[in-house]
Amino acid sequence: MKKFLKKLAFFLTISFTIFGILLLLLYLKSTKVRSYLEKSHAVNANILIIESWLPDKAIEIINSEVLNDSYDFYVTAGIQSEELDFCQIAMNGYLIFYPKITLTREVTCKPHKIAVVARSEMGGKYSCHFNLFINDSIVSDFYADEKPRSYEIEWFGKISEIDSLTVQFTNDFLDDSGDRNLYIKEFVIDNELTIPYQFNSIYDIGKLGGNNRIVNDYNSHSEMIRNKMIRNGADPAKVIAVTGKRTRINRTLNGALAFNEWLVKSKPDIVGINIITMSIHARRTWLTYRKVLDNKFDIGVIPLPVAHAIEKEEPNQSEIVVETLRLIYYWLLLLPY
């Protein structure tokens, strides 16, 4: 009898779950759901939060339109992300490392083993080709595949004589099937000295020493967005990067918690807070910050339209379903707050 009841309970659970999902799908056909998710409600505020996962096009919109408003602080909020373990080289160019920043002693091993850790976006015909320079001389070239690997050479000479280590990406390519991108993590010398790209490299897009240069002086998306905003004219004293712990789940929550920690430490005078996010993500973001900040402040949200921000069509039915389920999950997640 107990086995029968267990089976019946399991069957009913599955049945009600399927029935609930079907009802949800039917309900989501209504445009009211998308409108609900894309909550748009700006308030009188002196702090603007910018979610740091927003795409580059969105940051351009923020710089050209939003930064004209009179906010006291622009806070880029996010988390540490494994996506930034590698530097993306999306176009032909040069990633230049300066090992003297980290080398403090001479290594006597000869020949020296110098390796660069790299991978390609895809394999096959989309494998990335790159040249390896020591100072101004090409010493080798490689084709990277999809798995991160160490591409190693032997080199005779004093490590202290190395002014730069450079990776030149040479075969950028894009078609309907894929995009060829190179990813570089670090250089390793004699299995002892590790030189990560962060804070030790610059990326010259196209021409070496040209005007299109990115300085890799960040270790989180929030810092990266802050740097982009400053390069585009924002006042460095008004742009604050706050970074939560690394995680693969609950990223919005961890970004909100990092912002709350900044509030506790900095104690700024707050009139109100607006948050810039993307499209149907707006309500979940707004809900999260309201709960984490315990409704102490007037909080608004400004959703950027997908079509303008990332040049794609508006959210499709499946994206609306997924975001609705995530919102339900966040309602439960935020109960303790």
Residues 91 and 200 in one domain: yes
Same domain, 228 and 246: yes
Q: What is the pLDDT of residue 124?
A: 87
Does 93 map to a domain? yes
Q: Domain end: 215, 241, 275, which one?
A: 215
Give, in degrees to the nearest 5, the angle at Cα 129 between 126 and 131.
Answer: 170
Query: Quick one: 109 exposed, middle or buried, by C-beta within 10 A (0-12, 13-18, 19+)?
Result: exposed
198 with 261, same domain? no
Kindly state whether residue 251 falls inside one of the protein's structural domains.
yes
Q: Are residues 191 and 99 in the same domain?
A: yes
Write down which residue in 190, 215, 240 finishes a domain.
215
Instruction: Identify whether the C-beta of residue 285 lies closer than 8 Å to the C-beta of residue 327.
Output: no
Shared domain for 224 and 265, answered yes or no, is yes
Structural domain including 205 reads 84-215
Q: Which residues lie across from 202 on neighbouring strands?
A: 96, 215
How many C-beta neighbours within 10 Å does residue 39 have? 19
pLDDT at position 277 is 92
- What is the sign of the dihedral through the CA atoms of 95, 98, 102 and 104? positive
Tokens linked to 253: 């929550």
Provide the token pair at 272: 């109100």
**What CATH number is attached to the domain comprising 270?**
3.40.50.620
- Whether 4 is in a domain gets the answer no
Would residue 1 count as lying in a domain? no
165 and 230 assigned to the same domain: no
pLDDT for the residue numbered 270 = 93
- The answer as to whether 170 is a domain residue is yes
Q: How many domains does the chain have?
A: 2
The residue whose two tokens read 């700006």 is: 42
pLDDT tens digits for the chain (337 residues)?
555 555 555 555 665 565 555 556 555 555 678 888 989 999 999 999 999 888 777 777 777 666 667 799 999 998 887 778 899 999 999 999 988 755 555 555 578 999 999 999 988 888 999 999 999 999 999 999 999 999 999 998 888 888 999 999 999 988 877 889 999 999 999 888 899 999 999 999 988 887 888 889 888 889 988 988 888 788 899 999 999 888 878 889 999 999 999 999 999 999 999 999 988 999 999 999 999 999 889 999 999 876 544 555 567 777 888 888 888 889 889 999 8
Strands (E), the chain: 47-51, 73-79, 87-89, 93-97, 112-120, 128-134, 137-144, 149-155, 165-169, 173-175, 178-180, 182-189, 193-196, 201-205, 213-215, 239-244, 273-278, 299-304
Q: Do 92 and 205 share a domain, yes or no? A: yes
Q: Are residues 266 and 229 in the same domain?
A: yes
CATH, residue 135: 2.60.120
H helix or E strand, kind and range, residue 221:
helix 221-231
The reply to whether 118 and 175 lie within a common domain is: yes
Predicted local confidence at residue 22, as pLDDT: 52
Q: What is the CA radius of gyration of the chain?
A: 24
Q: Is 157 inside a domain boundary?
A: yes
| Residue 242 token pair | 């706050």
In angstroms, what CA-CA distances link 225 with 52, 232, 248, 309? 6, 11, 20, 15
- One-letter amino acid at 87 equals C
Helices then strands, counting H and E runs in the chain, come out as: 8, 18
Q: 313 and 226 in one domain? A: yes
Query: Which neighbouring-strand residues pair with 22?
Result: none
Last residue of some domain: 215, 249, 283?
215
Per-residue model confidence (pLDDT) at position 212: 85
Indicate whether 21 belongs to any domain.
no
Task: Specify whether 187 is located in the same domain as 93.
Answer: yes
